[in-house]
């Protein structure tokens, strides 16, 4: 090309097209990666949730979900006032039984 201005114009245009193509490719790849990452995280969360629910169902099936639950007498249970009173009464009865057994043991050893 004999005209340097025209040559500079075409070079500038080519540079702009290449930059545009690379930017488009970079943006497409980034969005694709982001979508893939999001899908993987959602799948990991779904699997985690399924595992937690499966374990909870196992424990619930093992203990029957009733008074034999490992949390039946602990602070983690939320009992109704009647159930709580029944639990307290049962504990008092057990304490009384232990006291009687302890007194019998003490009287037999002396």
pLDDT tens digits for 55-76? 999 988 888 755 555 555 554 4
DSSP of 88-102 = HHHHHHHHHHHHHHH
Token pair recorded at residue 41: 């995280």
Of 56, 53, 55, 33, which Cα lies nearest the Cα of 45? Answer: 53
pLDDT, tens digit, 9 for 90 and up, residues 96-107: 999 999 999 888
Look up the pTM and report it: 0.45
Token pair recorded at residue 17: 């097209």
């Amino acid at each position: 090309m004999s005209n340097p201005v025209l040559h500079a114009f075409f070079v500038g245009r080519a540079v702009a097209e290449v930059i545009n193509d690379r930017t488009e490719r970079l943006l497409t790849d980034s969005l694709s990666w982001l979508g893939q990452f999001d899908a993987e995280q959602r799948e990991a969360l779904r699997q985690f949730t399924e595992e937690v629910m499966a374990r909870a169902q196992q424990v619930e099936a093992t203990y029957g979900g009733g008074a034999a639950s490992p949390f039946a007498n602990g602070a983690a249970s939320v009992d109704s006032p009647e159930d709580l009173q029944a639990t307290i009464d049962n504990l008092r009865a057990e304490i009384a039984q232990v006291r009687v057994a302890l007194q019998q043991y003490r009287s037999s050893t002396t």
